Amino acid sequence: MKGPVLRINFCAVAFLLLPAMLFAGDLQEDHPNILLILTDDQGYHDVSYYGTEDIQTPNIDQIASSGIRFDNFYANSPVCSPTRAALLSGRYQDFVGVPGVIRTHPDNSWGYLHPHATLMPSVLQDHGYHTALIGKWHLGLAPPNIPNERGFDYFHGWLGDMMDDYWSHRRHGINYMRLNRKTIDPEGHATDLFTDWSIDYINDRANKEVPFFLFLSYNAPHFPVQPPKEWLEKVKERESDIDQTRAELVAFIEHMDAGIGQVLQALKDTGQYENTIIIFTSDNGGHGPSMADNGPARGAKQSMYEGGLRVPAAITWPNHIKSGTSTDRVALTMDIFPTLFDLLGIRYEGPLEGKSFLPTLLGKKQPERDEPLYFSRREGGTRYGGLTIQAVRMGDWKLLQNSPFSSPELYNLQEDPMEKNNLIGEYPKKYRELNSIMMNFIQKGGAVPWQKSSY
């Protein structure tokens, strides 16, 4: 880290006074712990706090009800690796070398995390935090892009992308389960393992003076949808008319929610809950064939429509964030990085596209963001051919291209939230404006290599 330079996202005077004004004590003296929970492919409305009738997620609901719920929270990408890169870097995924999914086989891998990209855990390490990742990594399979070399003091989880089976823990016959750098072969459902390991970590940190950052990254509810039998039976007994495919997904999510509840209880049992910032969200929209519920939005995972990008999100911090609140403010996954640093009083001078939403967290007025927002994905196969799909949102307007071989589409989200009425022929000037912005983002992303052989 270089010398400190203050990052100002709103009125400079207010920001300089913020730590003293907002809290009874100095934030840097409080040293709050951070628990960041990221689920995999959880649909925007696959939480019961939105009134979804066939699912019960009381523990995720608790995070929302005890803090603030974000109703316009977007993943940076409609697939896994890019959003995770944006989350941990505070940058657009293309700008850190991860425009697409990182996979086992090089001929179908579409990203390589830039070795010099600064990640959230590294900065937190520099400011006295013990950092841990439990669960899914999905940003590299070999050095230098493994968790212990990218800022995590402790890694207990899964290096790869999806699991082919939640009990045997393999992908393409390869075991990607690790304890730090050591290959391990534990028994049990992956969701239960990640929950248990998180509880063990929380218990271990209970009497330590150093605060912790725990990134709990579940593989669930990513397909294959494999809930434990007893959870599926419970859902089918409760929801007598539910479709089998939907029942399996609901049971899968409810099983994970119970694990989240156990983790929250561990914080309470060890006396750490009151001084822990808890963030919950998903890495992209829900999977359509699994019958995910993406709420009042078109599309699903892999799509640049709202259903592929909008995700559930909630943040709580007892005695600091007012309970039972919600916001319509548009925020992205990459915004978590600068928000946490603003909240902690950490001065960070590196490049960022993410914008702090700290005032919103604390119930303060915050101007609506006026910069364009960019979403992207690079993919292979005959459907994509190694090319990209992308979207740009500017205010209420959104330009998207859902296939590199299809025509672009233009929507006004205020008037048409379901993206049914393509206005590209009616507003050529707006199309040209957003297309120019989109091309500029693509050019900037093109300056960053996303294959290892390029370095």
Print the SS3 string covering 91-129: CCHHHHCCCECCCCCHHHCCCCCCCCCCCHHHHHHHCCC
pTM of this structure: 0.93
Answer whether residue 15 shows pLDDT above 90. Answer: no
Give me the residue label for tokens 């150093």: 210
Per-domain residue ranges of the chain: 12-361, 373-454
| Per-residue confidence band for 26, with pLDDT thresholds at 50, 70 and 90 | very low
Q: Which amino acid is at 330?
A: V
Is-contact 335 77, C-beta < 8 A? no
Express as a percent the part of the chain with pLDDT over 90. 92
Answer whether residue 50 shows pLDDT above 50. Answer: yes
Q: Given 3.30.420.40, 3.30.1120.10, 1.10.3720.10, 3.40.640.10, which CATH number is that of 373-454?
A: 3.30.1120.10
| Per-residue confidence band for 1, with pLDDT thresholds at 50, 70 and 90 | very low
User: 39: which 2 tokens?
Assistant: 């689920």
Tens digit of pLDDT for each residue in 266-304? 999 999 999 999 999 999 999 999 999 999 999 999 999
Tens digit of pLDDT for each residue in 198-219? 999 999 999 999 999 999 999 9
Distance, in Å, from the CA atom of 439 to the CA atom of 422, rounded to the nearest integer, reads 20
pLDDT of residue 21: 37
pLDDT of residue 228: 98
Q: Three-class SS of residue 321?
A: coil
| Per-residue confidence band for 31, with pLDDT thresholds at 50, 70 and 90 | confident
Distance, in Å, from the CA atom of 272 to the CA atom of 132, rounded to the nearest integer, reads 16
Q: Which amino acid is at 19?
A: P
CATH number for region 12-361: 3.40.720.10
Per the DSSP assignment, residues forming a β-bridge with 310 are: 74
- Other CB atoms within a 10 A radius of the CB of residue 396 amount to 12
Mean pLDDT in residue range 406-421:
97
User: What is the side-by-side strand order in the sheet with 130-136?
Assistant: 182-183, 177-179, 154-158, 130-136, 212-217, 33-39, 276-282, 313-316, 68-74, 325-332
